[in-house]
Homo-oligomer: A and B are copies of this chain.
């Protein structure tokens, strides 16, 4: 959970409520009850917490540190809106975060471990008795500096979410197909490759699923798109009560739909207004966009 300063070539915001947990929880809450763990300082707007609670998000795992300062991130998007630079990160109360779940949360079936240090992700996961399905995100920093902790985590994860560069870095393989196969050897049953404006792919031992991004005339702010995607995914799996390959395909489509809605305003503003009807509409747009007839060639 964070407060973000975001600059794009077309405008920006300062101190916007954000953070991976916030985006993912908002997206998932459209489809399933959500329990959120995180940490904020006294500067985190009470109204934002009330907004999350009003969406049925249980904030019992959110620690509010009196006198503390929330994690802050500043980022600037380049003209193509697909690459960004981090201007600063200010850890604040996050520096001493040790996520402790309420005891009653040990039965949580669907778990999304948003991007934090892999040791903390592992610590969260250890507090859940026998999760049905676990998804984890990570980043270049941890792949480089906490590789062994990340590998330890991956043995207990069903899905790892990465982008192209992270996949290459983690696997030390250039070809993405070979790279994904290697990461499957580390433990996850699935690798999700997030490709930004080019969509996403799901790779498992025997197959591959790909979904393009929705073409949008108005990308305002890509911040949180990946977390919204993950939140939509795990929310859909929980809604379906199914973790089959067919369910995962549907979950990737819902994630793509949610992410496409997220990027059409700054921060969480668009996401706050999203309904299930919006997800349905974009899901079916994606289906129309990707459907084609069987091969008629005679062989």
Contact = CB atoms under 8 A, between A and B. Distances in A.
Contacts of A80: 174
Interface stretch (A20-28, A44-52, A66-74, A277-285): A277-285
Nearest to A217: B177
Interface stretch (A54-62, A85-93, A195-203): A195-203
Nearest to A251: B292
B175 A217 contact: yes
State the copy count for this chain. 2
A201 B214 CA distance: 11
Interface residues of A, number: 54
B217 A178 contact: yes
B289 A294 contact: no
A208 B199 contact: no
Contacts of A218: 175
Interface of A: 31, 79-80, 174-178, 180-181, 195, 197-199, 201, 203, 207-212, 215-219, 239-240, 246, 249-250, 252-254, 276-277, 279-280, 283-284, 287-299
Given A175-B216, A176-B197, 5 more contacts: A201-B212, A203-B215, A207-B288, A239-B297, A283-B297
